[in-house]
Structure 1
Amino acid sequence: MLHEKDIEQIEDHGLTLEKVYRQLEKFSLGIPKTQVVTPASIGNGIEIIPDDKAEKLIAGFEKEKEKIDVIKFVPASGAATRMFKFLHEFLADYDAESESLNRYLRRKDSADLEIFFDSLNEFPFINEVRRNIRSRFPDYKKSNKGERAVFFVRAMLEEEGLNFSNLPKGLIPFHRYVKYSTTAFEEQLYEAAFYSTSRGEAQLHFTFSPQHLDAFRAHYKTIEKRVSNKTKKRFAITYSFQSGDTDTLAVTRDNFPFRDQDDKLVFRPSGHGALLKNLDEVDADLVFIKNIDNVCAAEYVEELAHWKKILAGKLLKVQKKAFAYLDLIDQGPLTEDQQNEIKSFLYKDLKIKNIPEQMDKVRALLDRPIRVCGVVPNTGAPGGGPFWVQDEDEQISLQIVETSQIDLSDPHQQAVVEEATHFNPVDLVCGLKNYKGEKFKLADYVDPNAGFISDKSVGETPIRALELPGLWNGGMAYWNTLFVQVPVETFNPVKTVNDLLGRMHRPNA
């Protein structure tokens, strides 16, 4: 199936022939579905931390953070196109000359469009849109309601306008204050100053797409002084790109390599699991992970930071005990009481169900990256959730699982999913170093079978695409995982532009 020119293209892309053949094998054989045993729930894998313990955890974090390197890792690679999907459809579908806007809205029965057009003055970018309309559409005020709606959306999305169609989500205005508006990128900086700081400096690492780097750099120059003055903190920002050698081959519906009109192989980004390599290159003791669009207006940040510090304090407390036990094992020999104490720690504190008898296996379970994940009560929002999972060796562990990994045609698996009480907002605090201060090699803790195959298209042609094990699900399958309930108010993603109308995105709402 592959020719000499294909091999050359594969190697130029940073891949190897062996990797590509493994990918083709997964398309042909399929990827095993994850077996969920039961949802994690309060008292069964999810902890509620009472106020008195929370204050102690925060105090522990505040004390330790000045001795360690702390960083916030923000996946920020994606374009904002999906935020405006229903507006793109509106532009393609609506003819203002032949149909009134009200009639069109009734015919389409689109709640998204009705909410959007009823709330134009509430969006943080309203003034910028109006300025663009004045410069580009001189007949705006003389136009009918439908034409004005089209002009408004075009001013938002088109390259001659605000160009939201082509901007990364991090550079879209999210919040409007009295004198200025802020992007998601600026709000991530502001928020980091409240918890991701050490020795007066807030460190952040963003994963950008190469084509957006210059825009982020230019934007930072315009906001640096403002955010530094507001927070009284210095900022150290690093960035990386999703590596080409994590891309995967696209195939036809018959699992043959898909070729473009020039007869070249087509490679696709392999989802957020590809960012595990970027995370592995971050040199820090403690890493907060949070998606670029999950921010809130400044007045709510202090409460959000309160919970971040609780999660970090929990990680440091558990990690300290694990490190002490690893040191004890390595010094050896251990008494029977010491062995039982360590096994009890695995079971009670690290939520490990299958405790081995041999101390070398116990040590291996202790000596793994640790993550503490905030989870929120299930409100029907899409996304993965916390479950007890059984692997092919019949080992049971706590995992974050996406619904795409589960065989929902199996009535039992469907029933388990329907019983879920919490979901995953991507609110993680991670420990990336072992007790000797050495970085873990994160690729050693991935479940390679936790990826999935999805149906996509190139133009009008259907294809199949392979996604690597997700960064916070299969990519961290063999970490030690703890779940802590956090308030739903800490989760404020912006999946569509209308989400910006929510209370947590409205200063002084």
Structure 2
Amino acid sequence: MDSVLKERIVAQGMNPETVETQIENFKNGFPFLKIMGPAVPGDGIQVLSEEKLSKLQEEFPISAQEKEVVKFVPASGAASRMFKDLFAFMDGDGNLSKSTFVQKFMDNIEKFAFYKKLDQALKSKESSINQALDNQDYKTILSALLDEDGLNYGALPKGLLKFHSYPEGNRTPAYEHMIEGVQYALGKGKLVKIHFTVSPEHEEKFRSEIESIQSGLESEFGVKFEISYSQQKKSTDTIAVDMENNPFEEDGKILFRPAGHGALLENLDDIDADVIFIKNIDNVVPDSLKPETKKYKMAIGGLLLEVQAKAFEALKKLDLGINEGSVAKAQEVYTGDLGAKLPSDFEGKSLENKGEFLREKLNRPIRVCGMVKNTGEPGGGPFWVLEDDGSQSLQILETAQIDLNDPESKAHMNAATHFNPVDLVCGTRNYKGESFDLLKFRDMKTGFITEKSKGGRELKALELPGLWNGSMAGWNTLFVEVPLITFNPVKTVNDLLRDEHQ
């Protein structure tokens, strides 16, 4: 990299060495991971018995009273993708027969939790939803929903849209996450800590929404909320390049872009807690379906603390001395409780080397991930991956990390039975009570390159290793089967018409 380019990069507040590595990644691409097989029930995915479920549910809230517990909710970005089909209709000729999506939206419009607010927005313009429907004036309805002089849903974040209807008032996902927090993320001193990652332009709106409901919920449930916010750090943005891998320039500046949800690893790393639940902003359900979510969240939280305690005990024994007993205990935790697979040459190692190998493997952040049965085409999800040291670890992989031209890898992907609904609970402190440096446990060889366009010009963009993918590649991982009913994301506005959201 020449000195002029370095100076320009520094002037834009970025690190030239990091950018140089990113450009090399564009040139060389990322290697595929060596998959040994899908994680399935009985081989990588635990199916908890009713007895075990009950035990963990009983134990977790008791243990949590002594712990710092945080609910981490990635909530960045606008909800514009939810309304993609509606925007396309507005840009078109307004012919409803050409869009089954918009037809469904209009036919069921009274079922949306934002219906009354939308009708009020239209009445302020001396119209109403019924009048506009009668006149087939669909664009007026959509304008009132999406545009700035209406509800502005096209520019708001998902967390602040009305998702669910209740007799006492309709709720946003942010509201639903607070209710969930009371149910399974209650820590020391009856404190519910929730951390939202938000875009800079949305933070004030989030604060306003939370402040409007916080005191009422605290009175209703007899708890205290501690709500915090962070933004994706500008320093995690990655350089964009043209199709020849030269820096992409716009208006005399080098273009840097947000690096996907993997950039949030730094936000997660800043959180100091014993237990951190992670769940996406749009995966919420009305109160009638929350009991199943609560049940399994407490179960995976309980399993995390149970296995973590065993790993801590084994590490303390190794600290006292590497001997037959301490190595046997560590091996039992690693292969039994964590379910990991040792390298084929492990038995040939000296006792000292066995102890050091197991110490390094056990002294890592730990996560328990809910996995749901894949009811569609198999894709990214839970797999066994071969590590450089010959061991096998459990990883959550995206399809882009799998070599589909390799018949064996493709067969493993097609044999996958479950997928990742982003349902995690994490332990990020070590056995001495110190916070791990989470950046040391990511695999930087697991980024993603995507092709985009800007101003009519093609470019290549780089995403950092995904938050629950390569960013957690070096963590100890447990997979647990959870019911499909616990996974109800809202990707399009019409998803809100599904029974689970009504």
Q: TM-score, normalised by structure 2?
A: 0.94
Report matched runs for 1:350-429 at 5 Å: 350-354=338-342, 356=346, 357=349, 358=353, 359-380=355-376, 384-429=380-425
Whether contact under 8 Å (1:186, 1:227) holds in the other structure is no
Task: Could you tell me which runs of 5 or more consecutive residues in structure 2 were left unpaired when the two chains were aligned.
Answer: none
CA-to-aligned-CA distance 1:71-101 (integer Å, 9 cap, x gap): 1011011210111111111111124xxx5x3
Matched, 1:189 2:188: no
Q: Distance between the aligned counterparts of 2:157 and 2:377, measured in 1? A: 23
Instruction: Tell me what 1:33 maps to.
Output: 32
Q: Distance between the aligned counterparts of 1:229 and 1:402, measured in 2? A: 43
Aligned partner of 1:290 among 279, 283, 289: 279
Greater shift, 380-389 or 189-198, is seen at: 380-389
Structure 1 counterpart of 2:290, one-letter code: V
Q: Distance between the aligned counterparts of 1:29 and 1:321, measured in 2? A: 42
Whether contact under 8 Å (1:371, 1:482) holds in the other structure is yes
Matched position secondary structure for 1:292:
coil
Greater shift, 249-258 or 298-307, is seen at: 298-307
Aligned partner of 1:344 among 322, 332, 339: 332
Instruction: Tell me what 1:439 maps to.
Output: 435
Matched, 1:461 2:457: yes
Give the Å deviation of 1:462: 1.4
Give the Å deviation of 1:315: 0.5
Give the Å deviation of 1:229: 3.6
Instruction: Tell me what 1:245 maps to.
Output: 235
Q: Distance between the aligned counterparts of 1:381 and 1:410, measured in 2? A: 18
Whether contact under 8 Å (2:395, 2:469) holds in the other structure is yes
Q: Distance between the aligned counterparts of 2:437 and 2:377, measured in 1? A: 33
Q: Distance between the aligned counterparts of 1:125 and 1:352, measured in 2? A: 48
Greater shift, 400-409 or 85-94, is seen at: 400-409
Matched, 1:22 2:21: yes
Whether contact under 8 Å (1:368, 1:478) holds in the other structure is yes
Instruction: Tell me what 1:66 maps to.
Output: 65
Q: 1:479 to 1:140 in 2, by over 3 A?
A: closer
Instruction: Tell me what 2:448 maps to.
Output: 452
Give the Å deviation of 1:144: 6.7
Q: 1:197 to 1:143 in 2, by over 3 A?
A: closer
Q: Distance between the aligned counterparts of 2:491 and 2:455, measured in 1? A: 24
Structure 2 counterpart of 1:310, one-letter code: A
Structure 2 counterpart of 1:370, one-letter code: I
Give the Å deviation of 1:145: 5.2
Matched position secondary structure for 2:394:
strand
Q: Distance between the aligned counterparts of 2:267 and 2:128, measured in 1? A: 49
Q: TM-score, normalised by structure 1?
A: 0.93
Q: 1:497 to 1:478 in 2, by over 3 A?
A: same
Aligned partner of 2:256 among 235, 257, 267: 267
Structure 2 counterpart of 1:21, one-letter code: E
Q: Distance between the aligned counterparts of 1:139 and 1:500, measured in 2? A: 22
Matched position secondary structure for 1:177:
coil
Task: Could you tell me which runs of 5 or more consecutive residues in structure 1 were left unpaired when the two chains were aligned.
Answer: none
Matched position secondary structure for 1:34:
coil
Matched position secondary structure for 2:65:
coil
Matched position secondary structure for 1:471:
coil
Q: Distance between the aligned counterparts of 2:376 and 2:127, measured in 1? A: 44
Q: 1:144 to 1:120 in 2, by over 3 A?
A: closer
Matched position secondary structure for 2:314:
helix
Structure 2 counterpart of 1:431, one-letter code: G
Q: 1:193 to 1:141 in 2, by over 3 A?
A: closer
Give the Å deviation of 1:293: 0.6
Q: 1:139 to 1:125 in 2, by over 3 A?
A: closer
Instruction: Tell me what 2:80 maps to.
Output: 81
Q: 1:181 to 1:142 in 2, by over 3 A?
A: closer
Report matched runs for 1:183-222 at 5 Å: 183-198=172-187, 199-222=189-212
Give the Å deviation of 1:161: 0.7
Whether contact under 8 Å (2:385, 2:392) holds in the other structure is yes
Give the Å deviation of 1:210: 0.9
Whether contact under 8 Å (1:13, 1:244) holds in the other structure is no
Give the Å deviation of 1:12: 4.5
Give the Å deviation of 1:11: 2.6
Whether contact under 8 Å (1:13, 1:245) holds in the other structure is no
Instruction: Tell me what 1:500 maps to.
Output: 496
Matched, 1:165 2:154: yes
Give the Å deviation of 1:146: 6.9
Whether contact under 8 Å (1:137, 1:151) holds in the other structure is no
Structure 1 counterpart of 2:163, one-letter code: F
Report matched runs for 1:475-490 at 5 Å: 475-490=471-486
Structure 2 counterpart of 1:465, one-letter code: A
Greater shift, 14-23 or 406-415, is seen at: 406-415
Q: 1:369 to 1:426 in 2, by over 3 A?
A: same
Whether contact under 8 Å (1:140, 1:148) holds in the other structure is no
> Identity rate of aligned residues, in percent?
44
CA-to-aligned-CA distance 1:175-213 (integer Å, 9 cap, x gap): 011131110111011111001112211111111111111
Report matched runs for 1:76-225 at 5 Å: 76-95=75-94, 99=95, 101-102=96-97, 104-105=98-99, 110=100, 112-136=101-125, 138=127, 147-198=136-187, 199-225=189-215
Structure 2 counterpart of 1:339, one-letter code: V
Coordinate RMSD, CA, aligned: 1.9
Q: 1:381 to 1:211 in 2, by over 3 A?
A: farther
CA-to-aligned-CA distance 1:333-388 (integer Å, 9 cap, x gap): 42x24422321221121122125442111101110111000000002278631011
Q: Distance between the aligned counterparts of 1:142 and 1:467, measured in 2? A: 46
